Structure 1
Amino acid sequence: MKLPLPSDFFAPVRLSPSEVHDLQQVEARLLTGYLTQYDAYCTRQDEDSHEDVWKLVGQRFGVKIFSQKPKKSRRRHRREQEQLPALRLVGSVDGTLEDILYGSMWRSGRERAARAHFTRDGVADGAVLCTVEKPSPVEPFRSLSVKWMLKRAPHGGLVVKDRDFCYLAASGVVHSPKTGRKLGFRTIAQWPPGGFPSRLI
């Protein structure tokens, strides 16, 4: 099948008011949790910053990437909805907050493919299945939508095959409740809700 897929390939996803409310609650819960972690890290009150909890897994362009190590208690008592390992990115990059947010936004498979050309993240196609909240003149980086993505397998798919998935994507600008600092966020949650990877910019 030729990629990117045509814009009318997927049937429109229609959400009920209760489903929209649930998605907004998922975003709010995740964002509150990550803002709390961010403030704790910035004020050095985060006990999880210890090397016993965070492992350096990569470094690129001056940004260090840490993965949260699984806790023994988490292994013994698995939650109903098993959480994915958290990632923490520490460092700085050239440009402004708005540059990064603008570069992370896409509204069609062609835009996502164009972005993949520069980021080389292995994404072959994508689509917006449903828009809950969209950018406005007042909040140009605000977005909440359900998206689909196709990611190419490394090394030609000899061992791992291409995979596609649906997810809840949210972005916007907020201010830290503790410091008042302006922050950009891009949150990605499995849809239907399950594991919740996320990142703060």
Structure 2
Amino acid sequence: MEFKEFRNRTAREPNTSPYPPMELTDKEKQLLRQLAKDLVAINVEEFEEFLFENNGVLPERDWEFVRRDEQVETYLRRREKYGLRGFGATKRFRRETSDTSASMSSTKSEELSSLDVADIRSIGFKDGTLEDGVYGAMSPTTDVFRTKSAYVDDKIEECNVLALIDNVSDADPFTSLTIRWRVTENPPVMRTFLKSYDHIYLEATGFTTLTNGDRISYQLLHSIDFPHLTPPLKTHSRGQVAGILFFRQIDKETVQIHGRAVFAIPFERARALFTHMVLVSMSKSCINIFFAAQMKKLRWALHERRKNSVADFVCTSCRVTHKIAEIGPDNKLYWTKVHVCPFCMTQVIKSDTSITMRSEIAAGRTTLRRKKKAKCSTRFLERGAFRPTGSDTT
């Protein structure tokens, strides 16, 4: 447990990286790809055990029912029944200064006990598609990370994408691999004296298949430690988290949700308080991810309508107010009210998520090219390479 020091606070701009630019070697990137693949495989096995051996039910002897939000039920593993099976231990990367090679090992948390962690599962159903689930969960950039967090209401104070290992593409619009930093908000009673917890973690999104051929989408989070790149900050306590969220299509309009998260408990006396906080956060996140997908699709639909028409882009009848999250030029998050009729909103929700994501990717490439062109033009002018006609003197 670490308490706040009210002196020597940093003047760093919120939601910017507290570390220098993260440059990973090819060896480190390959190790991270393999780590993500292995962790997904471990959890697919447990998901199949839940589906096919336990018939979609968590054994009552191992799991205690805690809460229900809409069609999602959340359970806490009984403390005497823990078995992490390799999932949950923070992975540490070591870089050898002599030959730029890298190695990976588990940290001291490798043998996490029931006193150290809370093991949580959220299971249930939600209207939508596999693509909606992973689209709502993923956030390729820091700005999207922030707006998604606002929709999901996951109590994240600050966040930043530290490294982009595998970016989304036209071929795989939902497949990504990144290193992230985030700060989780403390419970209100502890904010005045206890440091907030931050996490450095690997996030992977994509698709895989079950042994019966069913296609599922996922979002993986797993704490990772780069002692040479991301040392602990004096302003925060370093936390540990591991989680995965699976989406499986049951019928044309219904998705099965299966989420699992392992959180390190900071100290035993805070177990009940912290466990309740992460239980509520995980349960609501499983539902709000689909809301985030809808709002992201609505934002893009409005963007396209504004671009293609000079007329008013809102509906003219049966107006229903929605709030769209945006990051302003001053790096602050703002909510913009828009009015959309139920018919148009239904069209947005039912629209092809893959098309929306590919359109966003294309727009991102265009924006990046414009920025590079503007930057090159600025440098060109600064070097005095351009001189107006008639400027030369004889």
TM-score range, shorter chain: 0.7 to 0.9
- Higher helix content, 1 or 2: 2
The one-character-per-residue Cα deviations of 1:56-79 (angstroms, maximum 9, x if unpaired) are 2322121011222334686xxxx8
Letter in 2 for 1:98: E
Give the one of 165, 177, 180 matched to 1:144. Answer: 177
Structure 2 distance, partners of 1:92, 1:66, is 15
Give the one of 55, 58, 61 matched to 1:49. Answer: 58
Alignment partner of 1:70 is 2:79: yes
Structure 1 distance, partners of 2:135, 2:109, is 36
Structure 2 distance, partners of 1:128, 1:21, is 19
Give the one of 17, 23, 36 matched to 2:45. Answer: 36
Shift of 1:9: 5.8
- Which residue pairs with 2:146 in the alignment? 113
Q: Which moved more, 1:32-41 or 1:150-159?
A: 150-159
5+ residue gaps in structure 2? 1-10, 84-107, 227-239, 248-394
Shift of 1:181: 0.9
- Which residue pairs with 2:15 in the alignment? 5
Q: 1:62 to 1:169 in 2, by over 3 A?
A: same
Give the one of 193, 202, 208 matched to 1:168. Answer: 202
Q: Which moved more, 1:165-174 or 1:117-126?
A: 117-126
Q: CA RMSD in A?
A: 2.7
Contact conserved, 2:140 with 2:176, CA < 8 A, in 1? no
Shift of 1:36: 0.9
Question: Which has the larger Rg?
Answer: 2
Contact conserved, 1:143 with 1:172, CA < 8 A, in 2? yes
The one-character-per-residue Cα deviations of 1:72-124 (angstroms, maximum 9, x if unpaired) are 686xxxx8613454432211012212112111111333322222222221112
Give the one of 69, 84, 102 matched to 2:135. Answer: 102
Letter in 2 for 1:170: A
Structure 1 distance, partners of 2:62, 2:156, is 30
Structure 1 distance, partners of 2:143, 2:168, is 19
Shift of 1:160: 4.1
5+ residue gaps in structure 1? none
Q: 1:117 to 1:82 in 2, by over 3 A?
A: same
Alignment partner of 1:196 is 2:248: no
Structure 1 distance, partners of 2:136, 2:194, is 28
Structure 2 distance, partners of 1:56, 1:3, is 41
Q: How does 1:85-100 map to 2 (within 5 A)?
A: 85-100=118-133
Structure 2 distance, partners of 1:161, 1:58, is 28
Contact conserved, 1:56 with 1:65, CA < 8 A, in 2? yes
Contact conserved, 2:221 with 2:241, CA < 8 A, in 1? no
Structure 2 distance, partners of 1:122, 1:195, is 15
What number of residue pairs does the alignment pair up?
194
- Which residue pairs with 2:217 in the alignment? 184
Contact conserved, 1:148 with 1:165, CA < 8 A, in 2? yes
Give the one of 111, 121, 131 matched to 1:82. Answer: 111
Structure 2 distance, partners of 1:14, 1:166, is 15
TM-score by length of 1: 0.82
- Secondary structure at the residue paired with 1:124? strand
- Secondary structure at the residue paired with 1:169? strand
Contact conserved, 1:4 with 1:109, CA < 8 A, in 2? no
TM-score by length of 2: 0.44
